């Protein structure tokens, strides 16, 4: 059973212009349920493009995308947005938490937007925050949290609606090595406990080595 199946992805930016760049050239990648895959490549190799296509934020010029065995190519914008909300959680290098809301509220908001009740959303948010060790900071706003704490809250937010796939783009890229290690440990524990699949782009080879599998993007292909 695959959480994510990407096959023969091609993506060209600025087609026909002098700045044309062919970023993906037949990229193929499958991630099984429960599997954590590291995506390693130099800057500019197309990691973000691949993650955005996998997460239904962007569409390929050619190739197929399936989430949970369901084809995602050719859906209407509305159907794609719905599928994205159901299936995918995102984490970025910068946390993008809402500054005027507490950590707890930041993890509740996506659930409320998705139709959850207040009590249910709060219970799930507190459970997630507890799993990554930030429950004691639940009532603080992002500015009052350390960088590592902010990023752990961002993980909780990404998992708030119980997606089947977590996509992360340099999730610890903004942290010092010790904090990065700690935050990555919390993320892995959370992923393992929830049994979800993850595709994590990173420059950090030590962290990559702790995942189930490491793939590289090379000349627009996954190797």
Closer to ligand ADP at the Cβ: 6 or 45?
Answer: 45
Across the strands, what pairs with 89? 166
Closer to ligand ADP at the Cβ: 48 or 64?
Answer: 48
Helix axes 103-113, 147-159, angle to 10 degrees: 20
Residue 89 to residues 53, 57, 63, 68, 157, Cα–Cα distance (Å): 13, 12, 22, 14, 8
Among 22, 48, 64, 93, binds ligand ADP (CB under 6 A): 48
Q: Is 179 in the site for ligand ADP (CB under 6 A)?
A: yes
Which range touches ligand ADP (CB under 6 A), out of 26-34, 37-45, 78-86, 183-191? 37-45
Closer to ligand ADP at the Cβ: 117 or 136?
Answer: 136
Instruction: Write the DSSP assignment of the chain as a string of letters.
Output: -EEEEEEEEEEEESTTSTT-EEEEEEEEEEEETT-EEEEE--TTSSHHHHHHHHTTSS--SEEEEEETTEE-TT--HHHHHHHHHHHEEEE-SS----TTS-HHHHHHHHHHHTT--HHHHHHHHHHHHHHTT-GGGTTS-GGGS-HHHHHHHHHHHHHTT--SEEEEESTTTTS-HHHHHHHHHHHHHHHHHHT-EEEEE-S-HHHHHTSSEEEEEETTEE-
Report the nearest approach of ligand ADP to the CB of residue 169 (Å): 7
Report the nearest approach of ligand ADP to the CB of residue 176 (Å): 8
Positions 84 through 113 that interact with ligand ADP (CB under 6 A): none
Report the nearest approach of ligand ADP to the CB of residue 179 (Å): 5
Q: Is 192 in the site for ligand ADP (CB under 6 A)?
A: no
Closer to ligand ADP at the Cβ: 34 or 133?
Answer: 133
Residue at shortest CB range from ligand ADP = 146
Closer to ligand ADP at the Cβ: 203 or 210?
Answer: 203
Positions 111 through 170 that interact with ligand ADP (CB under 6 A): 137, 144-149
Closer to ligand ADP at the Cβ: 49 or 161?
Answer: 49
Q: Is 57 in the site for ligand ADP (CB under 6 A)?
A: no
Q: Which residues make up the interface to ligand ADP (CB under 6 A)?
A: 13-14, 21, 23, 41, 43-49, 137, 144-149, 179
């Amino acid at each position: 059973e695959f959480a994510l199946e990407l096959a023969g992805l091609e993506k060209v930016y600025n087609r026909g212009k002098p700045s044309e760049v062919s970023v993906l050239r037949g990229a193929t990648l499958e991630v099984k349920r429960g599997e954590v895959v590291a995506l390693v490549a130099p800057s500019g190799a197309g990691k973000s493009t691949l993650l955005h296509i996998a997460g239904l934020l962007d569409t390929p010029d050619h190739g197929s995308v399936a989430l949970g065995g369901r084809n995602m190519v050719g859906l209407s914008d509305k159907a794609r947005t719905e599928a994205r909300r159901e299936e995918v959680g995102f984490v970025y290098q910068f946390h993008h938490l809402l500054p005027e809301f507490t950590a707890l509220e930041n993890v509740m908001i996506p659930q409320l937007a998705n139709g959850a009740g207040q009590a249910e959303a709060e219970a799930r948010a507190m459970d997630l925050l507890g799993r990554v060790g930030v429950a004691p900071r639940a009532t603080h706003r992002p500015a009052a949290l350390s960088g590592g704490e902010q990023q752990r809250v961002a993980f909780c937010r990404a998992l708030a609606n119980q997606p089947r796939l977590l996509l992360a783009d340099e999730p610890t890229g903004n942290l010092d090595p010790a904090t990065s290690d700690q935050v990555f440990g919390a993320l892995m524990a959370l992923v393992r406990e929830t049994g979800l699949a993850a595709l994590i782009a990173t420059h950090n080879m030590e962290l990559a080595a702790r995942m189930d599998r490491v793939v590289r993007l090379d000349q627009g292909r996954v190797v």
